[in-house]
Amino acid sequence: MKIAAIMCHHCGRKNCVRRHGRARSGLQRYYCSGCGRTFQINYIYQGNEGNILRQIEALSEKGKTQMEICRSLGITAMELDRYLYLISIENKTH
């Protein structure tokens, strides 16, 4: 059985990634020797997902309240405020 090469979430390299133990949740962690960062393929906590900003933007455009967004994504209101701040900065630079 051939296993597909894992791509680094940060730098995009495939040939530098190796297994790096397990997270507290029991999920496999990976280490990229190219950029020196660790990551997981799946996260239990949705705030760590890479596309969280796009998800927040989409939900806020649908007219969802901040509490509805927090509940649906499983993040705290404090973290949502931080993500909304990052989105506002991103929109100012474009």
Domain boundaries, the chain: 1-44, 47-93
The per-residue DSSP string of 42-94 comes to S-SSGGGSTTHHHHHHHHHHTT--HHHHHHHHT--HHHHHHHHHHHHHHHHH-
Q: Which residues pair with 29 in a beta bridge?
A: 40
Q: What is the CATH number of domain 47-93?
A: 1.10.10
Helix (H/G/I), strand (E/B), else coil: 15: coil
pLDDT of 57 > 90? The answer is no
CA distance 61 to 54: 11
The pTM (predicted TM-score) of the whole model is 0.49
How far, in Å, CA of 61 to CA of 17, rounded?
37
pLDDT of residue 68: 92
What token pair was written down for 59? 């939900």
Q: Tell me what pLDDT residue 49 has.
A: 59
Q: pLDDT tens digits for 17-56? A: 999 999 887 889 999 998 998 888 766 655 555 578 888 8
pLDDT attached to residue 11: 81
Assess contact for 14 and 39: CB atoms under 8 A: no
Which tokens belong to 78? 């404090």
